Structure 1
């Protein structure tokens, strides 16, 4: 018995020594919260059987148990068990400062949830940019989290690369440089229903590594798409996959006026890496006019960040033939609508909302095709992302990584929609083999950046 006890002690010491030599440290010691401070809400946190336990509380804001220490580059691992119906998350590179929303916690969050949406393991930007990496484009990742059981999480934040795994299945593959350092915090989400009060989220085996990270990085799953928020830059992965910038962030190279042989002399401004169409009278092409690419495109994936002002209207057009409509108004092509749905009258015109933001203008209404929680528009005055994918006849519109429109431009259904729209007089509308890409001047101030494309 004595020998067995000695062997057990030796094994335990060896494990601890090996862990220390490996560079891993306990972030939570399983005994107390001396290295943490609670921020914002006043949900209860307790230590039970070596676990960190967060307990939901009615009518209090999101609560965060935050490390007193800040971390920049790290690998974090933990296990979590959350009761069904309760939302949670782990903040990282996050902050709470008086000058930002009176100390509200903001920054990256790795999602923990039990809903049918299945975005656990995705990356949300708390109180700032909203969803950065929902799992809409990663079906494998959607099934990684198992409700009602302990789930193992891994977060790698190294430089501008942020990757997550749940139960050894990669969920997020994000590139973003908004914040390089901050605290780590364990969230108990605010609740508003009495039936949710007293529910728990539990964490255990919380450990972190901050040195010699390259040797410990996991290979990224090739099936998990990289989503980058770098401004006017391409990642190495994007370059390898054939992406190129359509706007260099400073000049009009590659662009001209839709009805001109040169770039417009007025109405468009390039400053600090942002391309802005100036406000005028709210009319189509009544100031500087639309601008189009010099190149034509057939099968492609296009990504553009846009930011609208209050009440603004604009659009991103594709399969544009600039020889059509030489008169007043905009050039003709399929359009990803850009609009302030709340303040612009166009949102209530057309049919059944087919002129709202993200819609195939005047033809197909944008709606969340991934779940029932709305279109994921981040709001006026904030940067939003438009993604258009065209592969032969198949076309998709994505708004902030959520699919909102899908159609076949060669189908009978599409032809029938065109016949009942303002485009019925344009022969072969939307079906030409290739066309220009266009940014619209609709007389309102709208900004663009990070305009990039790859062709199939």
Structure 2
């Protein structure tokens, strides 16, 4: 037996040496928490059979077992097994500072979500901006997680690019430069119900590589890019191009005009802003439209509302008929619901933020919207089969079929009932609306979809 134990020990040393030689380094020695410390809540962390075990404790906030060292560029791999009713995560490039919420751990989190939502591998910004990459943006990845089994994750952070995998399946692709480095941490989520006490998550085989890093090949995963007016190599490969370069109005003109408005719009600090005219619709610069027309596409845009503001992003705008106010088209509503009176008009809230204006109410919640004065990420997808989706900050909030009986019925009871074939043009311009309030846009990107 003694001889067998010696051989086993030698084998472990050989494996460790091999790992070190390949550039990998173990973050957990399998015996104790050397190199780690606990922050924030007092959930229970123990070492059992070479595994870190995190156990929920009633009444405690989110708890974190944190590396004492910070990491910037790296590839991290580990395995975890989690209780099916427990939420958890792995923090990376995260911080805890006295000047931020009394030392509250904050930063990027590799989500561990065994619930029916199935967002394991998504990226959440803990105690800061909330969801950055939901797996609604990559639904195929929802099947990667294995309930009740050991799961292997891979996290690649190189420069401003962060990518995740679960069991070899690509999940998230985030481009962001808010925090270039920070610690890694294992989270035990706080619980508010005594019956949830004692639930566990286990981690093992935690290793990191910080030298000789090579990005994994691009694989077509949808990209969330938080850097303004930036187009990453992955987005270019996915077929996206910029519609606004952050400096000029190239590619845009006034609605019903041949040139860009001489007043009413401003390009400054990488933002395209419609200026206030005290709420007078199209009374200053008027709407602006893309010079090109589109039929099937993915259109991404960031928008920032001022208090009480109203604007909109329209699509399938043909300019075929004059209108006293804004040009006619299907509209992604951009609105301060809490203040602007339009939110209470229409039917059942179909003039609220991210709705199809006067037609379909968006299915959004508090998590899907940012406060007034902060940037929101909007997206309109029109598929070749005329299915249309509205997205808000990674959440799909509207889905409908252009031309369906349901759609035509909604048009028939809307303000557009007297417009022949409303919303049914085979192609049209994209439009940013001048509704008389200050609203800013940036990161306008499009990918055309083949019929």
Residue 207 of structure 2 aligns with which residue? 207
Moved more, 46-55 or 310-319: 46-55
Normalising by structure 1, we get a TM-score of 0.92
CA distance in 2, matches of 1:56, 1:381: 37
Cα 1:8–1:204 shift into 2, 3 Å:
closer
1:306 and 2:303 are equivalent in the alignment: yes
Question: TM-score, normalised on structure 2?
Answer: 0.93
Q: In 2, Cα distance between the equivalents of 1:218 and 1:130?
A: 26
Query: Which of 365, 368, 371 is matched with 1:376 structurally?
Result: 368
Q: Could you say which residue in structure 2 is the equivalent of 1:52?
A: 52
1:59-138 mapped onto 2 (5 Å cutoff) = 59-138=59-138
Secondary structure at the counterpart of residue 304 of structure 2: strand
Which residues of 2 match residues 24-423 of structure 1 at below 5 A?
24-214=24-214, 217-222=215-220, 224-327=221-324, 329-367=325-363, 376-392=368-384, 393-423=386-416
1:2 Cα deviation (Å)?
Answer: 7.8
Contact between 1:340 and 1:357, CA under 8 Å: does it hold in 2? yes
Shifted more, 331-340 versus 40-49: the winner is: 40-49
Secondary structure at 1:203 match in 2:
strand
Query: 56-65 vs 108-117, which deviates more?
Result: 56-65
Structure 2 CA distance for partners of 1:375 and 1:203, relative to 1, 3 Å: closer
Partner of 1:436: 429
Q: Is the 8 A contact 2:175 2:223 kept in 1?
A: yes
Out of 4-13 and 400-409, give the one that drifted further.
Answer: 4-13
Spell out, residue by residue over 1:22-58, the C-alpha distance to the aligned partner (whole angstroms, 9 max, x if none).
Answer: 1111112223324223223232322233322222223
Contact 2:59 2:190 in 1 (8 A): yes
Counterparts of 1:60 and 1:78, CA distance in 2: 26
User: In structure 1, which of residues 420, 433, 454 is the aligned counterpart of residue 447 of structure 2?
Assistant: 454
Say if 2:130 and 2:367, in contact at 8 Å, map to a contact too. no
- Other structure's SS at 2:12 match: helix
Bigger Cα displacement from structure 2, 356-365 vs 195-204 = 195-204
Cα distance in 1 for partners of 2:193, 2:5 equals 50
Q: Answer yes or no: is the 8 Å Cα contact 1:170–1:220 preserved in 2.
A: no
Kept in 1: contact 2:91–2:110 (CA 8 A): yes
Take 2:270 and 2:61, find their aligned partners in 1: how far apart are those partners? 37
Is the contact made by 1:130 and 1:378 (CA closer than 8 Å) also made in structure 2?
A: no
Indicate the larger mover: 409-418 or 38-47.
Answer: 38-47
- Structure 2: tracts of 5 or more residues without a match: none
- After TM superposition, give the deviation of residue 313 of structure 1 in Å: 1.7
Q: Give the direction of change, closer, same or farther, for the CA distance of 1:100–1:324 in structure 2 (3 Å limit).
A: farther
Q: How far off its partner does 1:330 sit?
A: 1.2
Q: CA distance change for structure 1 residues 342 and 189 in 2, over 3 Å: closer, same or farther?
A: farther
Distance 2:36 2:134 in 1: 29
Taking the aligned partners of 1:191 and 1:310, their CA distance within structure 2 comes to 36
Work out the CA distance in 2 between the residues paired with 1:5 and 1:128.
48
Q: CA deviation at 1:3?
A: 7.0
Counterparts of 1:241 and 1:45, CA distance in 2: 42
Deviation at 1:110, TM superposition (A): 0.2
Q: Give the distance between the partners of 2:4 and 2:38, measured in 1 at CA.
A: 43
Alignment of 1:7-26 (within 5 A): 7-26=7-26
1:429-453 Cα shifts (integer Å, max 9, x gaps): 1111221111112222221110011
- 2: CA distance, partners of 1:267 / 1:79: 55
User: Residue 332 of structure 1 aligns to a residue in which SS?
Assistant: coil
Structure 1 residue 18 displacement after superposition: 0.8
Count of residue pairs the alignment pairs up: 448
Are the counterparts in 2 of residues 80 and 201 from structure 1 also a CA contact under 8 Å? Answer: yes
| Structure 1 Cα separation of the partners of residues 5 and 100 of structure 2 | 55
Question: Contact 1:255/1:292 (CA < 8 Å) preserved in 2?
Answer: yes
Query: Where do 5+ consecutive residues of structure 1 fail to align?
Result: none
Rounded to whole Å, the distance in 2 between the matches of 1:39 and 1:283 is 53
1:184-224 per-residue CA deviation (whole Å, 9 max, x = no partner) reads 1111112111111222222121111111111xx544444x3
